[in-house]
Chain A
Amino acid sequence: MSVVIEATQQVVPAAEPRWRWRAFLKHRLGLVGAAMLLFALVLAIAAPLVAPYDPEARVDVTLEDIFQKPSGEHLLGTDDRGKDVLSSLIYGTRVSLIVGFTAAAIAILIGAIVGIVAGYQRGWVGSILMRITDFFLVIPDLALMIVLVAIAGPSLGTIILVIGLLGWTGTARLVRAQTLSVRERKYVLRAKAIGAGDAHVLRRHILPAVLPLMLANLVLVVSIAILEESSLAFLGLGDPTVISWGQMLNFAFERGAISAGAWWALLAPGFAIVWVVLGTTLLGTALEDAVNPRLKRHHLEAPGSDVAPDRTSVPLTVAERDAPPILQVRNLSIEFATDRGPVRAVDGVSFDLRRGETLGLVGESGCGKTTTVLGIMRLLPPGGKIVSGSVWFDGEDLVGMDGPTLRSFRWTRLSLVFQGAMNALNPVRTVGDQISEAIRLHAPQTTKAQAAQRSAELLERVGIPRRRASEYPHTYSGGMRQRAMIALALACDPDVIVADEPTTALDVMVQAQILELLGGIARDFGMGIILVTHDLGVVAQVCDRVVVMYGGVVAEENEVTTLFREPQHPYTQQLLLSFPDLAHPDRPLRGIPGTPPRLDAMPAGCRFEPRCPHAFDRCQVERPPEYPAAGGRASCFLLDPAEPRT
């Protein structure tokens, strides 16, 4: 599914409740619950046909008829009045289901109205409604029900009404929370900007978002209602004119089933209650899971390693080993599991990073640049797997490493500043503390004072006054937090820093500050930096070398000046033409027609072929290898020396 793949990229469409039949159908327990409930429903409807006896029929009872053991004649024995337990049980299904569904419908209706109004009208109306909800939530339901039923008299209608009137609070809270989140959505704001009134917004935007959640909730409320009806009946507050399971339990209990040893009279209704409640609960939970993605464990989350067992590692040649760059990525391929099988997000990516060098990894969203660096760090999201290749770091293959070795490697030698990292600081601990902790975690012999001293120095290095080390993250501005994250990344003096879109979402002025800082660090500490970005301007200003990615492969790599002056790959050329340049504001900008390929629908030939102005027949059928070009390399058939067109 394309949505799943996009989720690993920058733009994550917000999850919304929506029916997901596939997700539901995969929920085996939910299907079992549905089957259990369906069985009860069929029994209830077909009761007169299925039940061997009519429990309402008047029969003369002899003493032998009472509490008869289960036999061929009475499969579940007889009760205290000599009636067939099985038949009563089957007819009892009707009452339980009627009470359950009607009471739940009442509860859901009230809950939905209260929830929507309280969520949408946040003024005093909303406050009062929520206080009322809170009040009903804390009073003991059963006790109040007993009182109300006792006063109003135990008829089926009263029982339904009482259960319904007291059971709406959970729904109200659920619906209110959902309404609140939807009314803050941009599309609701947009509708209001168009001039839409409340009625329109409620009908077209709020209700459709709340409805699936309500229906899933309905099933759970049904199970509660059935339980409550049984409890009331068991306590002798059931409608005496109908047969219900609680009633059966009550009669059996009061009229000596225990002393008579008639376990069947107790066990059978008990089992029936458990059956229906279990069924509805399983179904309800499954529906809620399917509707509410937040409750669900990531369905692609496969237990096990993020490295495929049959991965082919790529050894370095002797020449490569002798004067090694600090990081050598070799033929790295990464796949994500999806509903329709694996898709390849990164396909055979190779590049080097030297000490003191800043390497730009550029491309549009979905090109695999973030996945590549997450793979290098072995921090792939659930469902992601390295299927082939090696990441040689100072002579050791990170991909082959086990957990503990890897953990000692991370941060001390290879650390990460990620996108939106400013939100990754722990809000309840001071910034200095958090840096000290990182230092002491990897160098346990460091004393607290030494660590504090070092973290103050680091903060100073990134342009934050020492005294602010003892302050909490919320007193920092966005730019300062990002700088604090860089200090954190520097804490253990790593050889390589991976910075994934470190300035996205920051103002241009703050961006300039952060970029200057990163440039200074590369110079002063001799670290290698991989800068992942979509901004060609940033690349041109700070990088030494550039790797351009497209559709999960390296489209082009070159030294920065050459890349901008003589781009070899048509994608790089087009990208440069579409990028605004303040130095030449009159140059008309041209977008690249079409859209980047989806991972699950990659072109068979060159991945850029559908958007390429120079594509020819060969591009459609064959994947271009990398050719040396202008001192770098590019994967395009136009650069094939054997190609007559070139």
Chain B
Amino acid sequence: MTDALLTVDSLVKEFPGRRSFADWLARRPAMPVRAVDGISFEVRPGEVMALVGESGCGKTTTGNLLMGLMPPTRGRVVLNGEDVGRLSGRGLLRLRRRVQMVFQDPYESLNPRMRVGDIVAEPLRVHKVVAGAELKARVVAALTSAGLTPVEAYLRRYPFELSGGQRQRVVIAAGLALEPTLLIADEPVSMLDVSIRADILNLLSALARDKGIGVVMITHDLSTVAAYADRIAVMYLGRIVEHGPTREVLDNPKHPYAQALLSVVPVPDPSLRRRPVILGGEAPDPSRIPTGCRFHPRCPLAFDRCPTVDPPLMAVNPSHQAACLLLEEHGQPA
């Protein structure tokens, strides 16, 4: 699609693996750890896309790649027609103005010695976009968009004077100051109180809707994104194993991992005590990716071909794909 704001194409990121003493003795080379293993997706302006998976699935590395915080091993991240991985120096600086990140921990990600006004102004000062009265106006506008009104009540306060929700709004305001086209939110609400989470999520989706900002939300919690994301991509060991519109994925999950992940989300309704599909084994380890389908050792539905064939993403319908051999009878390779 040409109207995509962000295009991620066959993205791969490898980290040098640890080489044990035994490996060194046996002159075995260090095996690279493949944290992200060939993922592709697109985000359109005004769209909220959720990357969902357990720790070790590569979702945070993906976020860092999108930010240009590290170069990809292979593949491309194209933002507004520019290849992020190829940028350096001035180009990278220009990119930073268009992609902003909202971090998980609003308690840690604000400098305790800076006032709110200075925190929000910091990106503008770093990039020397505007100064003087215009800078002030931009700061006020950003704080207003982040819902911190009346602005005057917040400008001169220090982070420790604010609640967790307010701090996360300050982080978002600092991200908005540069008027970015893409926001990457890494677990934006997991550290916040339950009663405040909805407000932050509502704010992010309103920003997408009203300002046409693309939002990539990275989370392990399906329930928090269910009401906010337009599309969901479920990741497992560096791959997207299922990808589609939110309702499609929630109502009709095709990959056994997505099904299991959905079944273990606790639902606040005691009459719906479901039998969760609890996967055995431990959290997946990206330094030891199984052969064939990478999910087969934990898969309750695995059959003889799974340990040998690595399934590609196959179309369930034109907008919904999943990478499971069980789909072969019904779907075609995408």
Question: Are A and B a genuine interacting pair, yes or no?
Answer: yes
Query: In the complex the two chains form, is B109's CB within 8 Å of A187's CB?
Result: yes
**Contact A204 to B268, CB < 8 A, known contacts A193-B96, A365-B193:** no
Judge whether A451 is part of the interface by a CB distance below 8 angstroms.
Answer: no
Of A16, A205, A507, A578, which contacts B198 at CB under 8 A? A578
A contact face: mostly helix, strand, loop, or mixed:
helix
Q: Is A488 an interface residue (CB 8 A)?
A: no
Output the nearest chain A residue to B178 by Cβ-Cβ distance: A194
- Tell me whether A579 and B194 are in contact (CB under 8 A): yes
Give the CA-CA distance A508 to B160 in the complex, in Å. 31
Q: Smallest distance from the beta carbon of B58 to chain A beta carbons, Å? A: 14
Q: Which residues of chain A are within 8 angstroms of B309 by Cβ–Cβ distance?
A: none
From A219-227, A376-384, A587-595, the one touching the partner chain is A587-595
| In the complex with contacts A194-B126, A508-B261, A582-B250 CB distance below 8 A | yes
Cβ-based interface call for B282 (8 A): yes
Judge whether A190 is part of the interface by a CB distance below 8 angstroms.
yes
Contact B266 A538, beta carbon cutoff 8 Å: yes
Tell me if A477 counts as interface (CB < 8 A to partner B): yes
A209/B113 in contact, CB under 8 A: yes
B103 & A190 in contact (Cβ 8 Å cutoff): yes
Distance, CA A196 to CA B166, complexed state (A): 24
- Expressed in whole angstroms, the minimum distance between the Cβ of B289 and any Cβ of chain A is 17
Q: CA separation between A14 and B105, bound complex, in Å?
A: 12
Known contacts A194-B126, A195-B96, A534-B194: does B264 contact A586 (CB below 8 Å)?
A: no
Is A18 part of the contact surface with B, judged by Cβ < 8 Å? yes
- Give per-residue flags for B253-286: 1 if the beta carbon is below 8 A from chain A beta carbons, else 0: 0000000111011111111110010110011000
Closest Cβ of chain B: how far from A605's Cβ, in Å? 20
Is A185 an interface residue when CB atoms closer than 8 A count as contact? yes
B97 touches A (CB below 8 Å): yes
- Cα distance, A364 to B113, chains bound together (Å): 27
How many positions in chain B have a CB within 8 Å of any CB in the partner chain? 71
Among candidates B92, B105, B197, residue contacting A186 with C-beta atoms closer than 8 Å:
B105
- How close is B116's CB to chain A, nearest CB, in angstroms? 13
Q: Is the CB of A194 within 8 A of B202?
A: no
Judged by a CB distance under 8 angstroms, whether B67 is at the interface is: yes
- Give the nearest-CB partner of B94 in chain A: A195
Q: Complex formed: what's the CA distance from A365 to B199 in Å?
A: 17
**Chain B residue contacts of A579, Cβ below 8 A:** 194, 268
B282 touches A480 (CB 8 A): yes
Instruction: Please report the C-alpha to C-alpha distance between residue A195 and residue B272 in the assembled complex, in whole angstroms.
Output: 48
Determine whether the beta carbon of A537 is less than 8 Å from that of B268. yes
Name the A residues within 8 Å of B178 (CB-CB): 194
Provide the A340-380 mask, 1 if CB < 8 A to any CB of B, else 0.
00000000000000000000000011000000000000000
Give the docked Cα–Cα distance between A16 and B273 (Å): 45
Are B163 and A595 touching (Cβ within 8 A)? Answer: yes
Cβ of A585 under 8 Å from chain B: yes
Shortest CB-to-CB span from B274 to chain A, Å, is 8
A197–B125 Cα gap in the complex (Å)? 11
B-side contacts of A365, CB under 8 Å = 164, 193
* Known contacts A195-B92, A195-B97, A581-B269, A512 near B226 by CB under 8 Å: no
Query: A364 near B194 (CB under 8 angstroms)?
Result: yes
A194 B269 Cβ-Cβ under 8 A: no
**B179 adjacent to chain A (CB < 8 Å):** no
- Among B100, B171, B198, B272: residue with most chain A CB under 10 A: B198
Assess whether A513 is interfacial by the CB under 8 Å rule: yes
Smallest distance from the beta carbon of B7 to chain A beta carbons, Å?
21
- Say whether A582 contacts B54, CB under 8 Å: no
Decide if A540 touches B198 in the complex (CB within 8 Å). Answer: no
Query: Is A364 within 8 A of B193, CB to CB?
Result: yes
Q: Report, nearest first, the 9 A-B pairs whose CB atoms are least far apart.
A: A537-B266, A591-B199, A195-B96, A589-B198, A512-B264, A186-B108, A592-B195, A585-B226, A591-B198
Question: What are 27 sample pairs from A and B whose C-beta atoms fall under 8 A apart?
Answer: A16-B112, A16-B113, A186-B103, A187-B108, A190-B101, A191-B111, A192-B69, A193-B100, A204-B122, A205-B111, A209-B113, A364-B193, A365-B164, A508-B265, A511-B264, A511-B266, A512-B264, A537-B223, A540-B273, A564-B268, A575-B194, A582-B262, A583-B272, A590-B198, A592-B195, A595-B166, A596-B193
Residues of A within 8 A of B (CB): 3, 11, 13-14, 16, 18, 185-187, 189-197, 200, 204-205, 208-209, 364-365, 477-480, 507-513, 515-516, 534-541, 560-561, 564-565, 574-576, 578-583, 585-592, 595-596
Having A13-B160, A191-B111, one finds 5 other A-B pairs with CB under 8 Å, namely A14-B107, A512-B276, A560-B270, A578-B197, A580-B223
